[in-house]
């Protein structure tokens, strides 16, 4: 075709087929009969086919006319579905939210999302779980509406709200020689092998800052790409590790890991919910944002808080 078929022309064909007359179609469409006749001629000239058979009884669609009527009917149904969907999303009837999670947040974020979903069953979720860099990329590339992470970047324009505290501790096997000490120093652990998260992760950045501030050089045994690997390696006796206290609640309660009472720890960071400033949230996304900022903290695992003497419990 030389030109694109327009939605106006498709509606003209449907109206003519319904009425069998140019005047009837014009009345339905609220235009003049010459305007309807012009659109019909333009479309027939464009496609190179007759769309109606002209008879004393009126205009009857040809096969090409019936084909265009079918297309117009499908488009009209899709537009109605779009209109209804937007009305429902405005009232939180429907919607889809893409949420990026740093891997450490998976120990509490799914429970928060599940609670929100129970009250909004027609809203769908897409979860993007990755490390810190991957989560930031999901935000900046607008693949994620919202992100949950512990250390927001400072180089991009973000809206952020605090969800709650995010403590980090040093873990060991329960039979570690210092596990029962009321307090130890970081320097006293320099004979231990430290297991670290991969470079670029929020936990690794925090660990590097802790070592630099304490002016110590740890013995690094291995770098691990996940908290689960770190925990399994510590339980196997391969070393000790700085890790989010929110990742170890089950292992501590079951006696498979212990927390070393290191002076100055736990390090308390914050969990944040983030979005790009340029990102305009639809009602479903805005509702989740409000839910996480107001109620997200109650889904955080029980944290290990410092006693007045600096130890943890």
Q: What does pTM read for this prediction?
A: 0.69
- Domains (ranges, CATH) in the chain? 7-90 (1.10.10.10), 95-163+270-299 (3.40.190.10), 166-268 (3.40.190.10)
- Overall average pLDDT of the 167-179 stretch: 96
Q: Which residues contact 269 (CB under 8 A, 6 or more apart)?
A: 150, 151, 165, 166, 167, 168, 206
Q: How confident is the model at residue 307 (pLDDT cuts 50, 70, 90)?
A: very low
239 SS3 class = coil
188 SS3 class = helix
- Overall average pLDDT of the 133-153 stretch: 93
Q: How confident is the model at residue 306 (pLDDT cuts 50, 70, 90)?
A: very low
Per-residue pLDDT, 83: 75
The enclosing H or E element of 264 equals: none
Answer yes or no: are the C-beta atoms of 280 and 235 closer than 8 Å. Answer: no
User: Residue 313: pLDDT above 50?
Assistant: no
User: Residue 3: pLDDT above 70?
Assistant: no
CA distance 252 to 229: 16
9 SS3 class = helix
DSSP state of 31: S
- Overall average pLDDT of the 47-69 stretch: 90
List, as one string, the DSSP characters of 32-90: -HHHHHHHHHHHHHHHTS--EEEETTEEEE-HHHHHHHHHHHHHHHHHHHHHHHHHHHH
């Amino acid at each position: 075709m030389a030109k694109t078929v327009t939605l106006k022309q498709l509606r003209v064909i449907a109206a003519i087929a319904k009425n069998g007359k140019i005047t009837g179609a014009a009345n339905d469409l609220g235009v003049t009969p010459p305007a309807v006749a012009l659109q019909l001629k333009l479309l027939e000239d464009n496609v190179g086919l007759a769309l109606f058979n002209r008879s004393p009884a009126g205009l009857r669609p040809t096969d090409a006319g019936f084909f265009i009527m079918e297309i117009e009917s499908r488009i009209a149904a899709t537009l109605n579905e779009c209109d209804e969907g937007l009305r429902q999303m405005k009232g939180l009837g429907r919607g889809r939210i893409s949420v990026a999670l740093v891997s450490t947040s998976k120990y509490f974020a799914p429970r928060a999302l599940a609670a929100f979903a129970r009250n909004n069953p027609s809203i769908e979720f897409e979860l993007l779980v990755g490390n810190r860099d991957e989560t930031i990329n999901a935000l900046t590339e607008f693949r994620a509406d919202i992100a949950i992470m512990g250390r927001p970047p400072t180089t991009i324009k973000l809206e952020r709200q605090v969800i709650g505290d995010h403590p980090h501790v040093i873990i060991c096997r329960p039979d570690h020689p210092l596990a029962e000490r009321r307090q130890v120093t970081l320097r006293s652990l320099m004979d231990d092998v430290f297991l670290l998260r991969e470079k670029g992760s929020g936990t690794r950045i925090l660990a590097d800052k802790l070592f630099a501030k304490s002016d110590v050089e740890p013995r690094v045994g291995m770098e691990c790409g996940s908290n689960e690997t770190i925990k399994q390696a510590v339980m196997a006796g391969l070393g000790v590790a700085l890790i989010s206290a929110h990742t170890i609640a089950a292992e501590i309660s079951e006696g498979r890991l212990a927390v070393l009472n290191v002076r100055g720890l736990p390090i308390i960071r914050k969990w944040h919910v983030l979005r790009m400033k340029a990102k305009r949230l639809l009602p479903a996304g805005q509702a989740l944002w409000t839910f996480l900022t107001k109620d997200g903290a109650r889904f955080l695992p029980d944290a290990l808080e410092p006693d007045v003497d600096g130890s943890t419990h």
